[in-house]
């Protein structure tokens, strides 16, 4: 049984499921960066960090499926997570 669980977990990590994510917000990150935030199915959140301008952010792209267990994510939650990561 443990072998089966290990195989399923390994296959999901090696071949993640992708969903279509749409642009949600363009925002500034600390200290001088830009961030494009995308939302997908079941609260999946993805980020893209353009180098020169927000025009580098596509309107849609395939992002790894990572459903959120808690309720709707706010901009404040995202900005806090970004500032904690830098």
pTM of the model: 0.64
Q: Are 25 and 37 in contact (CB under 8 A)?
A: yes
40-85: pLDDT as tens digits: 988 888 999 899 999 999 999 899 988 876 666 777 877 787 777 6
Q: Are 44 and 68 in contact (CB under 8 A)?
A: yes
- Report which of 18, 17, 35, 13 is spatially closest to residue 81, judged by C-alpha positions: 35
Q: What is the structure's pLDDT at 80?
A: 80
Under the banding of pLDDT at 50, 70 and 90, the label for residue 30 is confident
Q: What is the structure's pLDDT at 71?
A: 65
Residue that has been written with the tokens 């939650």 in this structure: 77
* Spans of all domains in the chain: 17-85
């Amino acid at each position: 049984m443990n072998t089966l669980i290990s195989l399923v977990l390994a296959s999901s990590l090696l071949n993640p499921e992708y969903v279509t994510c749409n642009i949600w917000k363009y925002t500034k990150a600390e200290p001088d960066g830009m961030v494009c935030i995308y939302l997908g199915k079941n609260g999946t959140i993805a980020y893209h960090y353009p180098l020169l301008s927000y025009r580098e952010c596509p309107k849609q792209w395939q992002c790894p499926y990572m459903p959120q267990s808690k309720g709707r994510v706010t901009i404040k939650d995202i900005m806090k997570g970004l500032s904690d990561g830098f």
